[in-house]
Amino acid sequence: MSRILIKDGYVITMDGPPIEGGYVLIEDDRIAYVGREEQKADQVISAKGCAVMPGLVNAHTHAAMTLFRGYADDMPLQQWLEEHIWPVEAHLTDNDVYTGTMLACLEMIRSGTTAFADMYFHMDQAARAVEDSGIRASLSYGMIELFDEAKAKTELQEGGRFVRQWNNAADGRITTMYGPHAPNTCSREFLSKVKEQAVEDNARIHIHMLETEAELNQMKEQYGMCSVNMLDEIGFLGPDVLAAHCIWLSAGDMDIMAKKNVNAIHCPVSNMKLASGIAPVPELLSRGVNVALGTDGCASNNSLDMFGEMKTAALLHKVNAMDPTAMPAGEVLKMGTSNGAKALGIPAGILRQGMAADIILVDMHTPGLTPVHEPVSHLIYAARGPDVKTTIVNGQVLMEDGIVLSIDQEKVIEQASSAARRLADKAKAN
């Protein structure tokens, strides 16, 4: 049995009051003790001057899109998709997705994200990257059926094959979900079949929902109702659903989401960059909806830094409501940790005995985080990804004192840069 003791840190459990000068004991892949008493261990990690907290959870991304970071910026959504993103994605290979996902895992480990939810293509290679990097992930093959009966059959087959092949792989670090893209790119019939299959396989569902006003208008024209009402009508919604974006919601939509315990994934930076709108997060939270945070892909965010996402979420809703008390730091930290873990259905996001040992140490002894009046406030309003000192996932130390141990950083950066150049050149040649 491996025993690691994290000692003398400011322990933020997300499950009770912080513990100053606290101890966290890890036994194999689980947390064995959290408190004020020193424990015996094989390895001791000093957390002096650090906040010790659950790893961050990025609940919505397209990891391999790190290869398109900065590729096409500052343009309308449809132009961005049709003229730039879709053409370059058409050239993606298995190896590109492995490389791009490995780069994403490296960035997330360095910035304190210990688990993420991903929806994309060539997902066997994304799973390989997760397995090799040591991070935790809930993965789904992105199914886009486009109202084509033949395509519906092949997409569901591939989605199901991936779910069954990879669930609980990598010592349980990989869980799988079904990933129908969105209600306006998948038919009612297909979405009903996805739900049936997900229930049969005991798998969650990851879907985009009401990201744009165009989707809202299309759904009303096509079905005479919005996405939420259509999905509710076919029995799709439930606590097993991760609904990304959730911007164009009515009060009635939010009531349905609360009643059905749907998980809403807020992606403020991507939504702002693409001018998609502002999700009504305070209203969702007031109804008891579990709201987590995601970065979306790097093509529409440019970063996977969840500290930046948390700060943006807090500030966006204050100015949107013209209320400085909206979205307080503690609430936002829950969105980035325990709420995200709940959405993914993983035993993480809280430092408590028996939970998965997904833990980060944030160095508070830096110029940008001095003085420390209130650590939780600092984590939301002042901390950045590079302030993360140590990252532990499933009891394995993936980064210690700023040095990534599980990934060859220079090799990954070199391979990703080369793949990105080749893809951009191919897209331009066409």
CB 76 within 8 A of CB 366: no
Query: What integer pLDDT is reported at residue 425 of this predicted model?
Result: 92
pLDDT tens string 32-77: 999 999 999 999 999 999 999 999 999 999 999 999 999 999 988 8
Least confident residue range of 5-19, 78-92, 119-133, 168-182? 78-92
Query: What integer pLDDT is reported at residue 119 of this predicted model?
Result: 98
Please provide the distance, in angstroms rounded to a whole number, between the alpha carbons at the two ends of the chain: 56
pLDDT tens string 216-242: 999 999 999 999 999 999 999 999 999
CB 300 within 8 A of CB 367: no
Q: How far is the C-alpha of 421 from the C-alpha of 127, rounded, in Å?
A: 24
Contacts of residue 25, defined as CB under 8 A and 6 or more positions apart, other chains included, come to 3, 4, 5, 6, 31, 32, 33, 34, 39, 41
Query: What integer pLDDT is reported at residue 338 of this predicted model?
Result: 98
Q: How far is the C-alpha of 8 from the C-alpha of 102, rounded, in Å?
A: 33
Please indicate whether residue 427 or residue 120 has the higher confidence score (pLDDT). 120
pLDDT tens string 112-161: 999 999 999 999 999 999 999 999 999 999 999 999 999 999 999 999 99
Model pTM score: 0.98
Least confident residue range of 70-79, 265-274, 310-319? 70-79
Averaged over 76-88, what is the pLDDT? 89
The alpha carbon dihedral of 247, 72, 139, 341 has a sign of negative
Reference 213, options 285, 275, 283; nearest CA is 275
Query: What integer pLDDT is reported at residue 292 of this predicted model?
Result: 99
Q: Which DSSP state fits 385?
A: G
Query: What integer pLDDT is reported at residue 80 of this predicted model?
Result: 87
Domains of the chain: residue spans and CATH: 3-54+349-404 (2.30.40.10), 56-344 (3.20.20.140)
Contacts of residue 222, defined as CB under 8 A and 6 or more positions apart, other chains included, come to 184
Predicted confidence (pLDDT) at residue 430 exceeds the cutoff of 80: no
Query: What integer pLDDT is reported at residue 429 of this predicted model?
Result: 82
Averaged over 300-304, what is the pLDDT? 97
Confidence of residue 87 (pLDDT cuts 50, 70, 90): very high
Confidence of residue 427 (pLDDT cuts 50, 70, 90): confident
Confidence of residue 428 (pLDDT cuts 50, 70, 90): confident
Averaged over 395-413, what is the pLDDT? 98
User: What DSSP string describes 122-190?
Assistant: SHHHHHHHHHHH--EEEEEEEE--TT-HHHHHHHHHHHHHHHHHHTTBTTTTEEEEEEE--TTTS-HHH
Confidence of residue 81 (pLDDT cuts 50, 70, 90): confident
pLDDT tens string 370-390: 999 999 999 999 999 999 999
